[in-house]
Amino acid sequence: MAAGTPNTTPLLSVRDLIVRFYTLRGVVHALEGVSFDVGREQSIGLVGETGCGKSITARSVLRLIDPPGRIDGGSIAFQGRDLIQLPETEMRAIRGADISMIMQEPKMSLNPVMRIGDQVAETLLIHDKSLNRRTARAQALDMLASVSIPDPKRLARRYPHELSGGMAQRIMIAMMLVTRPKLLIADEPTSALDVTIQAQIIELMNALIDDIQSSVLMISHDLGVVAETCDRVIVMYAGQVAEAGDVETVMSDPQHPYTAALLKTLPDQVDADEPLYSIKGNVPSLLTPPTGCRFAPRCEHAMARCHNERPRAIPLTADHQVACFLHDAAPEPAAEPAAVPA
């Protein structure tokens, strides 16, 4: 690339990802043809109900799908290299250094028998062989200070069981960002915390991510958190992408019936004296998913073809796609005008 030319290649490009679990009860079709990009320094929110495939998508990016699960198709290009094809030794070097992941339950991810300071320093030592232990410990203390821990030296001597949930999540954020990863995956990072701590953790994460200029893949069932944190949103349903676009457009003018229904379930969308809205029916079993659109059994707009054909992703604009037959006649994005006959 010529000097000064901006790099417009996405940092992460997932195409037609297929993940299945081969269980004794049958094959679970967990992800079927999932595609999306994460640009450089961009924050993407993956939203949807429990079981829609958000966490499996994130774990696939790090190639952490355990048997009986298997990535059965597609590609996951990170900085131009397909992670699915890499040898495990190269994947190990990428995990934690170039791509980090913050889990829902920070205490489950921390080593219970290792002091906090040593755990943060260890992360640095694993990924930077040129560091000595003294420098790593000093950098670990700096990182603990940057996640607003009042007395980092004292806390560095503590063990995970001595920490509150909010403090443990701050430590996880310090550990995951200390290597300055290019991509941070945050899997429901605040769902185990109470509401006041949630806001502090989100604010802290946003500030640090801005500082180190990471891209973010934020997984959440909470559209409010995604609206506050992300540039773009990908709405998933039953292992497929239903709608994707910039947060403001999708939140203010959803085009997929599932996105619209999901937004109606938000408590601030109903008057205090009205019952909360819930989407009728249940998420389908992915052992025997519907053959056509997976949302068809719950969709108020379902047509005959919805039960037989799978809708493809239709671009409404260059930055807004929806997989729904209601938009099948939508014009192509302006960037690719149709040829006009002479």
Task: Name the residues that contact ligand SF4, by CB under 6 A.
Answer: 256-257, 293, 295-296, 299, 301-303, 306, 311, 324-326
| CB of 197 or CB of 313, closer to ligand SF4 | 313
Instruction: Kindly state the tokens that stand for 222.
Output: 């909470």
Half-sphere exposure of 13 (CA within 13 A, CB side): 9
Compute the least distance from the CB of residue 301 to ligand SF4, in Å: 4
Classify 119 as helix, strand or coil: helix
The DSSP secondary-structure symbol of 129 reads: T
DSSP codes, 255-272: -SHHHHHHHHTSGGGS-T
| CB of 31 or CB of 279, closer to ligand SF4 | 279
| CB of 197 or CB of 260, closer to ligand SF4 | 260
Residues in CB range of 264: below 8 A, 6 or more apart = 270, 277
| CB of 119 or CB of 259, closer to ligand SF4 | 259
| CB of 283 or CB of 296, closer to ligand SF4 | 296
Residues in CB range of 79: below 8 A, 6 or more apart = 11, 98, 182
The DSSP secondary-structure symbol of 321 reads: E
Compute the least distance from the CB of residue 281 to ligand SF4, in Å: 12
Q: What is the spatial order of strands in the sheet that 69-78 belongs to?
A: 26-38, 12-23, 69-78, 81-82
Compute the least distance from the CB of residue 277 to ligand SF4, in Å: 17
| CB of 48 or CB of 106, closer to ligand SF4 | 48
Instruction: Kindly state the tokens that stand for 224.
Output: 């409010």
Compute the least distance from the CB of residue 297 to ligand SF4, in Å: 8
Of 318, 324, 208, which Cα lies nearest the Cα of 257? 324
Residue type, 226: V
Compute the least distance from the CB of residue 57 to ligand SF4, in Å: 20
Of 74, 42, 39, which Cα lies nearest the Cα of 56? 74
Q: What is d(CA 120, CA 155) in angstroms, rounded to the nearest whole number?
A: 12
| CB of 209 or CB of 261, closer to ligand SF4 | 261
